[in-house]
Amino acid sequence: MGAWEILEHPADIGLRARGAALAGLFENAATGMMEIAASPAGIQEREQRPIAAEAPDREALLVTFLDEILWLVDGQGWLPARVAVRDIGETAVTATAFGEPRDTSRHEMRLIIKAVTYHQLAVRQTGEGWEAEVYFDI
Is residue 37 classed exposed, middle or buried when 0-12, 13-18 and 19+ CB atoms within 10 A define those classes?
Answer: buried
Question: Could you give the domains of the chain?
Answer: 4-137 (3.55.10.10)
Asked whether the predicted pLDDT for residue 7 surpasses 90, the reply is no
> Looking at residue 12, what is its pLDDT?
83
Residue 1 has pLDDT above 60, yes or no: no
Beta partners for residue 79, in sequence order: 100
SS3 75: helix
Mean pLDDT of the chain: 94
The answer to whether residues 54 and 89 touch, using CB atoms and an 8 Å cutoff, is no
Give mean pLDDT, residues 105-129. 95
pLDDT in tens, 37-55: 999 999 999 999 999 999 9
Which class for 87: exposed (0-12), middle (13-18), buried (19 or more C-beta within 10 A)?
Answer: exposed
Residue-wise pLDDT for 70-107, tens only, equals 999 999 999 999 999 999 999 999 999 999 999 999 99
| Predicted pLDDT of residue 3 | 80
How far is it, in rounded angstroms, from Cα 27 to Cα 97?
10
* Model pTM score: 0.92
Q: How far apart are CA 94 and CA 105, in angstroms?
A: 31
